[in-house]
Structure 1
Amino acid sequence: MAKSSADDEELRRACEAAIEGTKQNVLMSIRVAKSHGIWGKGAKLGRGQMAKPRVLAISTKAKAQRTKAFLRVLKYSNGGVLEHAKLYKLKHLSKVEVVTNDPSGCTFMLGFDNLRSQSVAPPQWTMRNVDDRNRLLLCILNVCKDVLGHLPKIVGIDVVEMALWAKENTPNMPKQQVDLQDGPVKDAVVESDMKVTVERELVSQAEEEDMEALLGTYVMGISEAEAFSERLKRELQALEAANVHVILENEPLVDEVLQGLEIATNCVEDMDEWLGIFNVKLRHMREDIESIETRNNKLEMHSVNNKSLVDELDKLLERLCIPSKYAACLTGGSFDESHMHQNIEACEWLTKALQSLEVPNIDRSYANMRSVKEKRAELDRLKNTFAKRASEFLRNYFASLVDFMISDKSYFSQRGQLKRPDHADLRFKCRTYARLLQHLKNLDMNYMDALRKAYCSSLNLLLRREAREFANELRTSTKATRNPTSWLEGPIGPNHSVNNADTSTVAEAYGKMLTIFIPLLVDESSFFAHFMCFEGLANGNKTEHDDDLGIADIDGNNIKDVKNPSDLEALNESLHDLLDGIQEDFYAVVDWAYKIDPLRCISMHGITERYISGQKADAAGYVRILLDDLENRISLQFSRFVDEACHQIERNERNLRQAGVLSYIPRFATLATRMEQYIQGQSRDLVDQAYAKLVTIMFVTLDKVAQADSKYEDIVLLENYAAFQNSLYDLANVVPTLAKFYHQASESYEQACTRFISTIIYTQFERLFQFARRIEDLMYTIAPEEIPYQMGVSKVDLQKVVKSSLSGVDKSISTMYKKLQKNLASEELLPSLWEKCKKEFLDKYDSFAQLVAKIYPGKTIPSVSEMRDLLASM
């Protein structure tokens, strides 16, 4: 047998030299052939799949607490020297599989669970013979077991065959032993060590002995099958004979048992006959008892029924009886406050009496009796009479209460005195009849609609009168200087102090109007919903002396939801009748405030929003509608102001040429500052929309004004955009909407500066930079070295251009500065624009100098540094 490459000491030393410096020890090195196959298919010949010579080396590295094991792949360089190609950690080895496509069994694959791409087939390793394959795989398995403590999955290899091979070839295999404690690797060929290691890993000694004993027994049984069969037959016959003998010995005992069973059967038959006789006698006795009980039950039933019938007739007669005091009260009693207790008591009796005659409170057979029908008709007449009288009285009562209050001027605001409406006495008087209204609703709902309309009609007169007098006196007593609406037009002078008047009293007056009347209207809506029975009252805890509305606080805002859709619709209609028309007085206050100071719409809008957010959970739907209408009217008035301001801005474009900063630029900053001071609550959106509309018109008008004279277009733009930024710098830091327009103005300013500076530069150095542009255009089609020979760009032309443009360059630069100074109306912009101009000129000259150095080598022009120094000195 040829010597295995695993025993080649020179190969091991070459491997150690290749991994020198890694502090790893080589346990085994062996030559292999590397190839690639396709999963599930046989390998195909190709340039990329040709077998390549490689060397596999098993190495370990000792650590303080554990030892690491590696599988290294080494390849031959062009000079035939081994060099490292790939490294695998054996702790990630998950599978060892022998390729079935190779009949010799010398080709195998190693599967690692940490490879990034599992879709690519791993390389196949081919050994010279099966001995080399087994030798390498046993070394890998021993290292995995000793160092790592686990074994990979083995596919395609018979473990028993490998154990037998290891046992036979132990003397020829060196044992690699890893000392886990001290770390160094020791090589020794010890037969007993190898044997113990292999057998411990694959099949233990005890398991091998048990397998040999089992196999020996199995072989012996096969060779003596006939003798074994004869022996089993003889044993079966002996067992059957013994069973028959035992049965015959037990025959007397069986006879004795059969005799006892016969005696027991006779006793059972006698007992069955006796039980039949007793059953017949008991059935006759049961029939007699049932007959007696039936007769007794019928007698008892007659007695109970007669007693119940007498009781029912007594109760029916009691229901049909109408007490005289209730009849007199219902038909002709007084509705004065002192008699309301009798009226309520009579109503309660009438309600219960009517309910007691209705099914299912009364038996259906009684309900069809003529006397019951007649009595029900009589109660209906009483109900209609009383409801008609009560309804007429309440309509007149509501009207008289309101007429009394309207006739007394002390209830309303007067000159020099604002009067807060006070309805406490009115509600107290109405509360007296709240229980009566509840009973009217239960007796006849038809009368409630007329009562609700009468109450709404009367109280609407009172509320509108109170609101009108309060609003008139509020406007009369509020002192405020009127601010003009023309904010964004007209000249700005040193003594100009427009729009500085304090108009806070206007917003305070509007807020006072809401503070007084919104809670009042909410309370009136709540009181009306309770008083006019738009929700069921909780009668469970009420006593006969309760005369309130069935709620804890009639003036509170905690109203239960009206769940019935029809009741909710009726309530909304009634609230409309109750409060309709009062909005006109609120509108009058809004219009009056707008005329004094349109910007106060912002404050009023915020005040209204706060009231709207506070009324969301309230049942007073009409109050929310009123607040929404007020908010819309305020927004509409403010939109009128913004539209007028936009018209004022647009009028600038119809003027003749304008120089310097347009008047509306600084005026807008003043306007925005005032608007920010007026913002309250959530009025941010209202103001932001106004900013967007105004600034958009400002920029559009500025562009049109600038375009009126193309010569000064960029100057007008940059001066005005600069003024816009300067005036709004502080506000833009705190107002996101203005910050957006600030950045837009900044971009437009930079663009106008760039165009203006380019114009200034080209005016003085047009010939120089046109020459540079002509060279750049030629470089697209002609090689750089051929350009000096083209017409118009020769070296002579260059010299002429440089001489004409750069001789006296300091005077040209001074001329640029003077033109810049002459055209600018804003002196504060001059320093920054001059710095931009010098930088732009220096950048252009730098580009020109680079072109000259590239196209005309050897030609000298003033250097960029000289030009920079010249500009710095000016």
Structure 2
Amino acid sequence: MAKSSADDEELRRACEAAIEGTKQSIVMSIRVAKSRGVWGKSGKLGRQMAKPRVLALSVKSKGQRKKAFLRVMKYSSGGVLEPAKMYKLKHLSKVEVITNDPSGCTFTLGFDNLRSQSVAPPQWTMRNTDDRNRLLVCILNICKDVLGRLPKVVGIDIVEMALWAKDNTPVVTTQRSTEDGGPVAEAVTESDLKVTVEKELVSQAEEEDMEALLGTYVMGIGEAEAFSERLKRELQALEAANVHAILESEPLVDEVLNGLEAATNIVDDMDEWLGIFNVKLRHMREDIESIETRNNKLEMQSVNNKALIEELDKVIERLRVPSEYAASLTGGSFDEADMLQNIEACEWLAKALRGLEVPNLDPIYANMRAVKEKRAELEKLKATFVRRASDFLRNYFASLVDFMVSDKSYFSQRGQLKRPDHADLRYKCRTYARLLQHLKGLDKNCLGPLRKAYCSSLNLLLRREAREFANELRASTKVSRNPTVWLEGSTGSSQNANTDTSAVSDAYAKMLTIFIPLLVDESSFFAHFMCFEVPALAPPGGAGNDKKGQSNNDDGNDDDDLGIMDIDETDKKTGKNSPDLTALNESLQDLLDGIQEDFYAVVDWAYKIDPLRCISMHGITERYLSGQKADAAGFVRLLLGDLESRVSMQFSRFVDEACHQIERNERNVRQMGVLPYIPRFAALATRMEQYIQGQSRDLVDQAYTKFVSIMFVTLEKIAQQDPKYADILLLENYAAFQNSLYDLANVVPTLAKFYHQASEAYEQACTRHISMIIYYQFERLFQFAKKIEDLMYTITPEEIPFQLGLSKMELRKMLKSSLSGVDKSIAAMYKKLQKNLASEELLPSLWDKCKKEFLDKYESFVQLVAKVYPSENVPGVTEMRGLLASM
């Protein structure tokens, strides 16, 4: 008999090496063949890809608890054992020996925790039954000792297993010390250690019978086959004895057969009765089903009727009009005390109308006659209430305004300017703000006439307030009127030009301070009160928030007052014009139209008193307009823009009249000296700069440009009337222009430009006049020099003395006549320069220019003579410079 692989120590060590580090110890290791083949009818094992494996039983101790594992080892490509799979023995539920294997060496192990129970478990094939029995006995012993239970064993002969366990129990030698000190071998069977048989397969009684049987026969039996044959023979003897006993009891058998026949007849009768009962029961069942069907239909009908009644109750409740609401909607009062009830009625009506619409009402009810009638009734209620409320509000707005207009103490009176106060008016209007919101929800079209009525009524009040305020503002402003003649030659204008007219622009600023915030707030309140849905709203009080334009509106803290963004600003952000915003600006036009006339009247009044105050008013208007760009109502911006245009137009009118006065100087008799409008323009420009105060720079610069252009053109025209004295007139006036505007030109870029233009014209006029005086006294000298210069372009300097009129003799004659008494000629030149000059302060600078120009020309003459007439003696430049210096 070949040695079993279970006793292979090298195999055990290889398995221990494979699981090293797991704290598990190997109990048994044995080689097997793994396959998933089946045993066919031919009784031959169809091995399908049998693979060599090693099954190892291992135990892991954890305190007093032990865990048992079945490990499957496979060989790697290098022939080294490595773990393939591991099963916990606590999940082992079945051990089955394959019956189709004639050798009985193939078995399967079933585990109850495998994920897929549909896949057949692997089949393990041993080399012989000894190896198989040894492995299975070891598995069963471990299960009993470690787990306290045994798996189910199928397909194995219990007797065979017990006999094999008894015959093949290995002897385990233990060493025991004796008194002599020598070891004594003591044989201990494996059954004494851990052999047992599954109690579930063999009952207690069977186990006792088997022990008695084994106690009787096993001692005399050498092999299991002989014992099995002996048992078969005894079984046959027992069966033969049983047949003999049965044959001897034939009478009893006949009696039993008769009893069976009688029982059969009774059963047949019972079968017939059961058939009859079955038919009757079937009919009864059909009747019961019919009754149940009708009962179910009745129950369903009852449930449906109940649900229908509930739904109808809801519909009826929805269609019912409460009497108190009906009374309020059709004939209730609109007094302030009754408004809460009216608002509740409006809310109920709006909710009821929405409740009858298809999204809120089941579509199957929409075409019901009752619903249609109720909808028509609610529409009639709505129309009645909207009409009554609209009539009341129109009359209410008119009565409020009429009451205020009839009270003269409400407006500005003689000697008393009164700021418009709309706090009480807005408080009374807010009482009906929620009513307007509900009216918009009930009928949006009703707001149009209401808005027109409100605008018409309030427009009368605003225009009356503005008219009375503007009239008293003008009457209470005391200031002397300045003449509009600024740049002509009258003497009175210069005296009146210093009159203080700041009260005029202060009055205009006060008009804007009072009314612009009021108009903005009125626009904002109107937009909110009349339920305009505009895309952008701004907080109130944003209008004119500058030094002179603080909003002093009494209602500035009201949450209802909202600023409305201008249409242009809104279009940039929304990309399209909101219909409500368009309607709002149209309504604001109706609300505020006509009030601009009183602003125009103040502007015209201020212009008549002092046209230059247009500059201050333009600056004030610009500040307000810049403050209205983001948060003012559209009409207020238009009003400010029109005011700015009006102020600009009046100022342009003043500029045109002043330019006309300048042009009239052209028609006068011969002008001498500085023209009168030159110094007057300097005074005018100084005062205009005082009125600018950091604003309206462009307006004033345009006026400067127009004034100076006309002044210079007129000066040139006057100078051309007498060409003999043209240069004197020009240089005197251009010098006066520079002297009078020197300080302003340093700070005003526009005037600096004209200052430089006048400086260039002055230099040109000086050059022409000085040249004329020099040529008048030394004409022969410089004409002789010019002839020489002209000939030098064509001939050499040595040939010039031989030309006609240019000989040395002619040169000497010319020098004698021109330079003899040269001091007298220079003195005559000074007298001529002094003779026609009206501005004595210009004489020193002009005389210096004249001497410098004469020396430059004389030096050129001396150089020419030195080239052409090198032998001639001419008075030197140094001698002439000394002579001029002594004059």
- TM-score if structure 1 supplies the norm length? 0.64
2:399 matched to 1:411?
Answer: no
2:532 matched to 1:534?
Answer: yes
Q: Residue in 2 aligned with 1:518?
A: 516
For residues 262 and 774 of structure 1, the distance between their equivalents in structure 2, rounded to whole angstroms, comes to: 138
Q: Residue in 1 aligned with 2:504?
A: 506
2:572 matched to 1:553?
Answer: no
Query: What CA deviation, in whole Å up to 9, does each residue of 1:41-96 have, x standing for no partner?
Result: xxxxxxxxxxxxxxxxxxxxxxxxxxxxxxxxxxxxxxxxxxxxxxxxxxxxxxxx
> How far apart are residue 315 of structure 1 and its match?
3.0
RMSD: 3.1
Q: Residue in 2 aligned with 1:440?
A: 439
The one-letter code of the counterpart of 1:675 is M
2:608 matched to 1:595?
Answer: yes
The one-letter code of the counterpart of 2:412 is S
The percent of aligned pairs where both chains have the same amino acid is 77
Q: Residue in 1 aligned with 2:48?
A: 261
2:585 matched to 1:572?
Answer: yes
For residues 445 and 827 of structure 1, the distance between their equivalents in structure 2, rounded to whole angstroms, comes to: 85
2:728 matched to 1:712?
Answer: no
Superposition pairs of residues 829-844 of structure 1, within 5 angstroms: 829-844=842-857
The one-letter code of the counterpart of 2:506 is E
Aligned partners of 1:772 and 1:848 also within 8 Å: yes
Superposition pairs of residues 169-318 of structure 1, within 5 angstroms: 259-261=46-48, 312-318=311-317
- Which of these two proteins has the greater Rg computed from alpha carbons? 2
Query: What CA deviation, in whole Å up to 9, does each residue of 1:374-420 have, x standing for no partner?
Result: 11111101100110000000011001100100111110000000010
2:804 matched to 1:791?
Answer: yes
Q: Residue in 2 aligned with 1:352?
A: 351
* Partner SS, residue 825 of structure 1: coil
For residues 386 and 697 of structure 2, the distance between their equivalents in structure 1, rounded to whole angstroms, comes to: 56
The one-letter code of the counterpart of 2:513 is T
Query: What CA deviation, in whole Å up to 9, does each residue of 1:629-653 have, x standing for no partner?
Result: 1111111111110000001000011
For residues 343 and 699 of structure 1, the distance between their equivalents in structure 2, rounded to whole angstroms, comes to: 78
* Partner SS, residue 497 of structure 1: helix
2:339 matched to 1:337?
Answer: no
From the superposition, tell whether residues 552 and 506 of structure 1 become closer, same or farther in structure 2 (CA, over 3 Å): closer
For residues 806 and 450 of structure 2, the distance between their equivalents in structure 1, rounded to whole angstroms, comes to: 105
For residues 496 and 420 of structure 1, the distance between their equivalents in structure 2, rounded to whole angstroms, comes to: 38
Q: Residue in 1 aligned with 2:216?
A: none
Q: Residue in 1 aligned with 2:374?
A: 375
For residues 592 and 805 of structure 2, the distance between their equivalents in structure 1, rounded to whole angstroms, comes to: 91
Gaps of 5+ in 2: 1-32, 38-44, 52-97, 102-116, 120-292, 537-554
Q: Which range moved further: 683-692 or 363-372?
A: 363-372
For residues 371 and 517 of structure 1, the distance between their equivalents in structure 2, rounded to whole angstroms, comes to: 57
Q: Residue in 1 aligned with 2:147?
A: none
2:764 matched to 1:766?
Answer: no
From the superposition, tell whether residues 478 and 404 of structure 1 become closer, same or farther in structure 2 (CA, over 3 Å): same
Q: Which range moved further: 716-725 or 786-795?
A: 786-795
Aligned partners of 2:401 and 2:461 also within 8 Å: yes
For residues 300 and 767 of structure 2, the distance between their equivalents in structure 1, rounded to whole angstroms, comes to: 118
Q: 1:633 aligns with which of 643, 646, 649?
A: 646
2:582 matched to 1:584?
Answer: no
For residues 871 and 402 of structure 2, the distance between their equivalents in structure 1, rounded to whole angstroms, comes to: 112
The one-letter code of the counterpart of 1:623 is V
From the superposition, tell whether residues 683 and 491 of structure 1 become closer, same or farther in structure 2 (CA, over 3 Å): same
Aligned length: 587
Query: What CA deviation, in whole Å up to 9, does each residue of 1:408-460 have, x standing for no partner?
Result: 11100000000100000000000000000000011011211111111111111
Gaps of 5+ in 1: 1-252, 268-273, 277-294, 539-548
2:671 matched to 1:665?
Answer: no
The one-letter code of the counterpart of 2:862 is A
For residues 558 and 533 of structure 2, the distance between their equivalents in structure 1, rounded to whole angstroms, comes to: 14
- TM-score if structure 2 supplies the norm length? 0.63
Query: What CA deviation, in whole Å up to 9, does each residue of 1:821-846 have, x standing for no partner?
Result: 11110000000000000110011011
The one-letter code of the counterpart of 1:261 is Q
For residues 255 and 685 of structure 1, the distance between their equivalents in structure 2, rounded to whole angstroms, comes to: 108
Q: Residue in 2 aligned with 1:290?
A: none
> How far apart are residue 472 of structure 1 and its match?
0.7
2:808 matched to 1:807?
Answer: no
From the superposition, tell whether residues 648 and 560 of structure 1 become closer, same or farther in structure 2 (CA, over 3 Å): closer
* Partner SS, residue 495 of structure 2: coil
Q: Residue in 1 aligned with 2:635?
A: 622
Q: 1:757 aligns with which of 770, 773, 788?
A: 770
Query: What CA deviation, in whole Å up to 9, does each residue of 1:652-700 have, x standing for no partner?
Result: 1101111100000000000000000001353000000000000000000
From the superposition, tell whether residues 407 and 620 of structure 1 become closer, same or farther in structure 2 (CA, over 3 Å): same
For residues 652 and 773 of structure 1, the distance between their equivalents in structure 2, rounded to whole angstroms, comes to: 41
* Partner SS, residue 47 of structure 2: helix
Q: 1:728 aligns with which of 725, 738, 741?
A: 741
2:643 matched to 1:856?
Answer: no
Q: Residue in 1 aligned with 2:668?
A: 655
> How far apart are residue 314 of structure 1 and its match?
3.8
* Partner SS, residue 717 of structure 2: helix
Superposition pairs of residues 664-683 of structure 1, within 5 angstroms: 664-683=677-696
Query: What CA deviation, in whole Å up to 9, does each residue of 1:353-387 have, x standing for no partner?
Result: 11111121122222122221111111101100110
The one-letter code of the counterpart of 1:409 is K
Q: 1:691 aligns with which of 693, 704, 707?
A: 704
From the superposition, tell whether residues 256 and 579 of structure 1 become closer, same or farther in structure 2 (CA, over 3 Å): closer
The one-letter code of the counterpart of 1:554 is D
The one-letter code of the counterpart of 1:450 is P
Q: Residue in 1 aligned with 2:794?
A: 781
From the superposition, tell whether residues 372 and 810 of structure 1 become closer, same or farther in structure 2 (CA, over 3 Å): same
> How far apart are residue 491 of structure 1 and its match?
4.5
> How far apart are residue 330 of structure 1 and its match?
0.7
